[in-house]
Amino acid sequence: MLLVAILSCAHITVAVSPLPATPTTPEPPPPLDAPAAPPRDTSPPVPDADDAARQWQRLAELCDGAGHRLAGSPGQGRAEQITAAWFDADGITVRLEPVKVPTWIRGEASLQLSAPYTQSLPVLALGGSVATPASGLEAPVVVIRDFAELGPAVKGKIVLYNVPMKPGVPSIDHYGDAVAYRGQGASRAAEHGAVAVLVRSVTTRSLGTIHTGGMWYAPGGAKIPAASVSTETADMLSRLAASGEVRLKLKMDPRHGPDSDAFNVVGELKGIDLAQEVVVIGAHLDSWDVGQGAHDDGAGVVHVVEAMRAMKARGVPRRTIRGVLFANEENGLRGGRAYFAAHGHERHVAALESDLGGGSPRGWGVTASPEQRAWIEPMLSASRLWVREGGGGADISPLTDDGVLSVGLIPDDEHYFDYHHTWADTVDKVDPMALAEGTIALTELTWALANAEAAPPKATAPSSP
Ligand SMILES: [Zn+2]
């Protein structure tokens, strides 16, 4: 995508303006005794190692101290207290804003191969799934590699969606295609009479790792159980199914509860002369209930808290800056929606989100009107990261949809989906220096936005693209 942009820009330049004249004589070399001009520094700033270690310690405190942070869980409450205490310790005004979040409790799950032979297989329920009957359900397996293959043949069967995620970076570009089977697969298969679905984990690398994640039932449709298996299990079952009947027994007992009380944790630096204008910088505090949610989105939480700390140390901004730790992204969008319900009427000039892990920053995804884009352009250029059209984040999407200039941080995500939504998303997977580089990138851009000259209005036409 970046390559295409560069090529098309080069083409336009050649077409409409003459190339700069080629010097006919080379520049003379500098005198031997003159110091050589220092090369222009185009590398991102290097974090202070001690500060990076301190930021990583905060991530460890969150991950180890709270436990998992699934919406409605006790860990979410502990995480609210830990992060509110950080804001407070850093001298930032903090408040807890109430959000009703969904409650889903995983319970136990087991998967048994019962033909052509008997063997236990690792499995994880998908978030939001209903339970099987208490004694489990047993059925033949049918392998599906595209929604178009669904039909009468899946009736009474367990559908195995074996659709690999494509490799290549940014990995996020390949996530959407594969994750559609996780999100919608159960309802799509239930329309044809399937009794359960298993979904190949959404990743390109696996050591037998199982990835959970959200799934949603179509309103009014049948609800069938949905679970995830490793890429290895999906491929093995597919090979077996190609040469004879494969039967599986799935048993799991997740349950839904009434909505729970949770909070968006909001830290605020009040502006001076443009205090009524707001710049939001956000991440989500909730996680899945396996692993520690260290990359997803503990790293983003630390980015936000640490950027607020760094900006507080610089003084008072012109605009108000709000660091928002959203309560519920993984299995709902209640945090982002509650924020918008409470604050959507205010004048937001920009919203930023960090929700792609703690890798070294690489680029920005920007959703903006032409006027907004022109305004932010010099600030993006100063960051020395690449920029592409489209982006933001799930939690800030209600603001994006309302025409607010939105920016998502895109870190190096080559390994993000190795860990994403697994037991392996633990704090040891996050590199302190890379984490701190992300903090610097967000700090610089947020500070620039909060202090820039007159901001353009919200986009009225649909934002790009
Ligand atoms: Zn996330």
Residues 80, 277, 306, 329: which is the catalytic one? Answer: 329
Query: DSSP letter string over 272-321?
Result: STEEEEEEEEEEE----SSS--IIIIIHHHHHHHHHHHHHHHH---SEEE
Category of 135 on φ-ψ map: left (φ > 0), alpha (ψ -120 to 50) or beta:
alpha
Whole-number pLDDT of residue 18: 36
For the chain, residues with pLDDT lower than 70 are 1-44, 461-465
Q: What is the pLDDT of residues 275-318, one digit of tens each?
A: 999 999 999 999 999 999 999 999 999 999 999 999 999 999 99
Q: Do domains 49-98+258-451 and 106-254 have the same CATH topology?
A: no
For the chain, the structural domain boundaries read: 49-98+258-451, 106-254
Whole-number pLDDT of residue 43: 67
Whole-number pLDDT of residue 45: 82
Sheet holding 274-284, edge to edge: 93-105, 255-269, 319-326, 274-284, 347-353, 406-411, 361-367, 386-389
Contact between 250 and 132 under an 8 Å Cβ cutoff? The reply is: yes
Q: Which CATH architecture has domain 49-98+258-451?
A: 3-Layer(aba) Sandwich (3.40)
Whole-number pLDDT of residue 35: 52
Residue 295 and residue 153: Cα distance in Å, rounded? 40
- What's the 376 CA to ligand 1 centre distance in angstroms? 25
> What's the token pair of residue 77?
């409450």
Whole-number pLDDT of residue 8: 33
- What's the 132 CA to ligand 1 centre distance in angstroms? 28
Whole-number pLDDT of residue 168: 92
> What's the token pair of residue 91?
């001298």
- What's the 66 CA to ligand 1 centre distance in angstroms? 17
Whole-number pLDDT of residue 23: 40
Q: How far is CA 333 from CA 62, 107, 339, 398, in A?
A: 22, 23, 10, 9
Closest CA to 182 of 159, 158, 208, 161: 161
Whole-number pLDDT of residue 424: 98
- What's the 170 CA to ligand 1 centre distance in angstroms? 16
Q: Which residues contact 150 (CB under 8 A, 6 or more apart)?
A: 144, 159, 188, 189, 191, 192
- The reported pTM is 0.90
Residue 70 and residue 328: Cα distance in Å, rounded? 8
- What's the 281 CA to ligand 1 centre distance in angstroms? 14
Q: Which residues contact 103 (CB under 8 A, 6 or more apart)?
A: 71, 72, 256, 257, 258, 259, 260
Q: What is the DSSP letter of 149?
A: G
Residue 363 and residue 32: Cα distance in Å, rounded? 40
Q: Does the annotation count 138 as an active-site position?
A: no
- What's the 284 CA to ligand 1 centre distance in angstroms? 6
- What's the 420 CA to ligand 1 centre distance in angstroms? 9
Whole-number pLDDT of residue 17: 35
Q: Which of the listed CATH numbers 3.10.129.10, 3.40.50.300, 3.50.30.30, 3.30.450.20 matches domain 106-254?
A: 3.50.30.30
- What's the 50 CA to ligand 1 centre distance in angstroms? 27
- What's the 356 CA to ligand 1 centre distance in angstroms? 7
> What's the token pair of residue 292?
């520690």
Whole-number pLDDT of residue 21: 39
